[in-house]
Amino acid sequence: MPRSKIDPVLLNFGLGVKRFRLSANLNQEELGKLTNVSRSYVTLVETGRTRCRRDYAERLDEALHASGEIIRAWDDLLQEFKAARYPASFGNFPRAEDAASMLRSYEDRLVYGLFQTEAYATVLLQDESKVRARMMRQEVLSRDVPPAIHSVMDEAVLYREVGNKQTMREQLEYLYELSHRPNITIQVLPVIYVRNLWAAFSVASQADQKELGYTEKAYGGETSSAPDDLALLNETFARLQAEASNIRETRSLIRKVIDERWT
């Protein structure tokens, strides 16, 4: 089935099942035997190509010792099908991010969350469970078909010390490596004024053309799928990309900052 016909909500549920399966050190055939289905059916569930029945979600939960999490995820999935997807003033951005076909982000103070090393994230979050959750979010980067990711970061991010020199060196080396991946574009924005740019933000675009925006606030953040909000974010991001250094210049700058400041 073409990727464009896979419902993002089903894909998100399937990715959750896959995480539990891998944590249990089971392959798809072994899980199929434990839950009385074929390996191909497990594949369909994990890739979001079918919506399983609740009784199968219960068998999955028991076989994978998920303590009810798979059942709750199935119930949440059902509610999302019943309700309008992504209300205008609120939405579950991590879910949208997890199933996105394209992600765009602007960061003004810190490295983009999906690009953070564990050491860098640990300094910021100072909570083991929150760090684990952030590392799990990054599994989107290793999906069989990863999303296209376009990230613009303020130049100050490269110089702002988080942790120590070793933490920063490892973080920027990782950024340098990511910048060579074919599905990832990283650009650095010089310290300039950009119209309508007031805070860090992200936009998750789904294969079915739905979009969800997330804007950072002083306390937490705000998600929106309102057309006017998304139009403003999309216009601002286009302007950011035009003003930022291109990918080759950015790559050279990252290497220069590593060598001159964090070595």
Last residue of a domain, one of 37, 56, 82: 82
Per DSSP, helices labelled H in 179-263 are 227-243, 247-261
* DSSP 8-state secondary structure symbol assigned to residue 163: S
Distance separating alpha carbons of residues 96 and 203, to the nearest angstrom: 9
Amino acid 140: pLDDT: 86
Residues 115 and 39 grouped into a single domain? no
Amino acid 88: pLDDT: 44
Mean pLDDT of 194-211: 90
Mean pLDDT of 166-182: 97
Note whether residue 163 is domain-resident.
Answer: yes
9 lies in which domain range? 3-82
Q: pLDDT-derived band of residue 220, with 50, 70 and 90 as boundaries?
A: low
- Asked if 192 and 226 count as a contact pair (C-beta separation under 8 A), the reply is no
- What's the CATH code of the domain at 117? 3.30.870
Identify the burial level of 152 via C-beta atoms within 10 angstroms of its C-beta, where 0-12 means exposed, 13-18 middle and 19 or more buried.
Answer: buried
Last residue of a domain, one of 56, 82, 108: 82
Give the residue with greater pLDDT, 145 vs 219. 145
pLDDT tens column, 226-259: 899 999 999 999 999 999 999 999 999 999 999 9
pLDDT tens column, 135-165: 878 888 988 889 999 999 999 999 999 999 9
Note whether residue 87 is domain-resident.
Answer: no
Pairing of strands 211-216, 201-205: antiparallel
Task: Name the 3-class secondary structure at 261.
Answer: helix
Residues 70 and 108 grouped into a single domain? no
Q: How many domains does the chain have?
A: 2
**217, 190, 189, 213: which is closest to 202 by C-alpha?**
213
- What's the CATH code of the domain at 59? 1.10.260.40
Residues 99 and 132 grouped into a single domain? yes
Last residue of a domain, one of 57, 82, 107: 82
This model's pTM is above 0.85: no
Residues 135 and 251 grouped into a single domain? yes
Residues 58 and 135 grouped into a single domain? no
Q: 156: part of which helix (H) or strand (E)?
A: helix 156-159
Note whether residue 88 is domain-resident.
Answer: no
* DSSP 8-state secondary structure symbol assigned to residue 189: E
In the predicted structure, residue 188 carries a pLDDT above the cut 50? yes
**229, 233, 164: which is closest to 194 by C-alpha?**
233
In the predicted structure, residue 85 carries a pLDDT above the cut 70? no
DSSP string, 68-98: THHHHHHHHHHHHHHSPSS-TT---HHHHHH
Residues 72 and 180 grouped into a single domain? no
Residues 60 and 100 grouped into a single domain? no
Residues 180 and 253 grouped into a single domain? yes
Tell me the average pLDDT of the chain: 88
